[in-house]
Structure 1
């Protein structure tokens, strides 16, 4: 674009496009080959990967490669699109040189599309960036590009103004190619402005610069030629001398017109003898030089042969020395290894003796530990039998509420979770207040009865949790024996009972329990609920609901006299109720090792709630076993209680 030939090509391309083509592109679009399609897809894939990795420069380079392929096949719009994507990246990264080149390419493409106004816009952008970069050669080149566009649009005065500025810069830096472009376009502009004198003036300047450039090129080419040998140099000198003598002979003939022909002939023979002598001397010198070269080559060959012999001798000497050194080192290494092995054997014997002694000690300790573990396990198993005897039979719940289940899965032999339920009468019973009589054996629910049911999660698990469960179970029995049956009041009494039983105000013990407590009012067909951190989930008409618990635990010194909320639901339709500890929800498992979570648990309950209760219990057990798999161990005790309340059940 900087040389005159390309500039003239652009100018005439504008004229041809504007006069003879009426189509959108102005030239026949060629079919893109399969190889170029493959390259386009490859470059775009590289660009996308580079953008994802934050390497915008690589992306811009590949967009530019795609643009050049489309340009080659005359898909000008596509080429502009990918040049524009490169321009956005170069602008963000302030890569001014590449941004200027892209704007120039877009300007040329709009020229090919005959959209001269857009072409002018992008050449102006290119010129602005060149000015910002401050390089005179690129500023002058941008001015010339813009001048071509202005000339093609018939704005010759504006074109000459740009050329004048470009001419000044080209003279300052001494760039003949830029001067050629300026003079050529000046000549075309003045010819189009009907100023032939000015046009001829600039055409002559153009021709002079072009001739000077050609002469300079020939001179450089001549100076680069070299004489290949000394014999050639001597031959050339002899020929030059012969030519000089020939000239002198001619001059003598002209100056001696008054002498006789015989004198001239004798003089000519003398000159000829001198020429022959010079030629013979040249041949002799050439032969001498060739002989000297041959002798020099033979001498160099002898020297190289001698050097090779000496080099081989050195290799043999050094090789022998290296072999000896390696042999010595190998002997030293073998000696050290033998010594170390002997030392290691002694150490190994001492270690084996120590290990044997330690093994005997460990064997005795292991036997003792196994005996202790057996005794501890036996004690814990006995504690399990006590805890099992304390809790009611799980199937006993079915006697009161036929559609019910208890899913109970302790983490260890004994559990910190426990379930509790009993029948309570609405009428006042003085005997229960003073604990004169214990609660009666099973009898069916009556109209004036309450049914109390709770799922309790004590602090800890294993033996500590089991102790807490015994405290909690006995406290619930004692509280309800006194005739207290309202859930919120039972939780308040239970909180105070745990504080007193564990002397928490004195010992600063913070153990306690979380629970969900339900009261079923047979006569009024209602369920009343109070909870300490654990909610009640129920389902009516295939829609799931949840009664939130208070964020207050039972026990501890955080709250001295807590007040729990009492909530109530009507049992006018079939109602499926679920109370539970957090062991099922917090269990880790699945493909990503995450918790099961409450949302998934509620969705599972909604999915299976219409199945028989025993089948629901089996599904819960299978689900959590599958969730844990073989990779994850149970982290806490699990308890889920489910029961179905129907109007018929409560219509006694």
Structure 2
């Protein structure tokens, strides 16, 4: 798809300021000018609003007292209205009428004595001609489109309007392409690119790369095409231009489709379609439908192919886009033809499909003739010839064969001239230099005179001679082909029997084009260094770029270095490169470091090109050298910065990893929790190395206290919050002796606010959590939550919690109830808050689930949406018949499957506990030997405040697990921890308070 910017309007002020000024404006002239500017602002996002304000401006302008200023204002409003009709509404009649009125007014003003009025009038006329050209362009009337575009171009060149000239060169280049005039298309697109580069206009440069890539694509030069598309895509991505990105995706998909890599093709087409649907780009959507239809056709899914082709046709007919209608008809015709070819037994059905193919192809042929599009006409004629031949109508088939050959011959001559321009475009892309201006050609000599003078000319003229000689070969080949085609017609469609002969001619032409590519380099004067040498490496000619780069004139260089490059070069590997080029007869390139005449160090990229004669022997060598010193210096600087960044990254990573060790040390041991709740699992997945979610467990008296906490943020900030929250919870439970969840939350809220307060200004830090205090002996559960609910699952005949719940779901066997939390965050804006506590009695085999929001907020699935709590509830309900270890595996698998290749959204924490009979083996008695082993630890505990007891226990457990010398004490220490948490708790407080050894 070709890409062109439209419109010439200037950037207006903000809406608010314009409406404010309009409201206070007293003069009608000022009001008309402001309405015109407001309309201009609305054009791209709301064309109907723009039309309304333009009409308002016109109505006021018509009533003003006539003078040059008011006439100019009136004409400008008419022009703006014309442009919005043609650019956004496709209402061609309305556009034409308004532009015609405007031109009549402008022409009365171009002889004014006021220079400003003259310039503005000429700009206005230019915009009107553009409106006419764009109108004819969209209707496929290309001759009239070109006529008006060229009028616009002439006026803009006179006025020095570079931005407008870029648009017109691009428009003309695209129309040239539609007409099959590839040489002119490339010339005009290169002119547009030069303007874009001079103005450092990234978007316009990307547009040019897209259009130049399209010309390469249509000539099946896929490497050059994709190179240009990727350049465009990178720029569009940098400037966040969605429409441009979608076009790049579409075009890359087309290349993969042509290369039969359909899986990659469909991915890029669907990416493009998604963006175009977001932008409501109907023309772009239609193009994607055609491309996706082609993929289905190639994969023999004809029903889907026809569906997409017809969807495209509907859009193109709505738009009145003749070129698009022809493409859709051709696609439908081609699909019906292939369907007919695939039917082997039902002759009537086969015939009907061929007739359907002919119907669409004839429609396409008629309309392509009407708009004079050779390339589209050729496609329809090819199908018509083959379809009529299949159904036995040989007279019709012969008629369309003649048309096919005539059309193909017409395009053939232009393809040759385009080939030279294409190779030049490749050269400029590989070098990443500015467009190189062609030298003015010497006066053309007669062929006979050139043959007599060849040996007397320098290598530069030799290049041109070879070009003309090869052109003569092309002409002879072309005439032979044309003669062969006519003979084939007389022999009643023997084209298929001559395929090998035609292919041989095509191969010869391709080889000739390859030589033309290399010789075209000689016909240029460039900022790069160009050297021409004979096959042995003796220098025959250099350009001015050589002197600029190295500081030597040819005579100076030969006097100092010698005339043979193989000896004069400072690159020690040059001989190897040279011999590779000679043996392979292919170009080679390399990068080297050298010094110029003034002892300045420079980096140079060198290309060695062999020029082959008709006997396929090397006659000349062309050496192109480009100064890449700035690039290499930038690379070295980038490498240095990269090393610094890597070192800093390593330091940060080490710090974060150490934070993980610290954070892990405070988390309670799962094995310890399992002593009270054997049937438990904890799914804990930090988004980063460290987490803002954490789980908490403590035992005090008859209560087991467990919580799941979600702190503000994730990563390092979240981890910092989690450590503060953990310490405050320890203090509330172990020092203050609080076990009631609601009271714990209230005190935690105050503690967080105090921890982050500074001069009474509360920082926006906090946490959401659910907390349960469980008395296993009484089968009692106390719950409170701050923006964090919990779920409890019972068998349907045993659901005592329903009266506490506002939400529940069920299946045949189980019911899942949701205990709702208070909608208050810990550490929030309110100073004094109270939390609601809920109490329930649980039964054996009841299960509770506590969690943060990370699981349900994860993006994934086919539609890249959040998992959501409803899906989690249903999943939990469906896994109740399996044990908790299997549930943990199932939930992990469900999360990873849903996430797929998506990035993890947040920290994930999910705890499940099934209530079972208390494990009596957990009640341990201490032996005298146990007490002997425990004693050193109790003495150590004496010197640590009870505020940090929870930390001590965890560190103690870590030491036991890690230290070889303490492993024999493991059982005894575990018993000690149990006793410490239960019976010995109060006694140790007393010991600490009395400071008894």
Same fold (TM over 0.5): no
Higher alpha-carbon Rg: 1
Q: Whose relative contact order is higher, 1 or 2, with alpha carbons under 8 Å and at least 6 apart? A: 1
**Structure 1 length as normaliser, TM-score?**
0.44
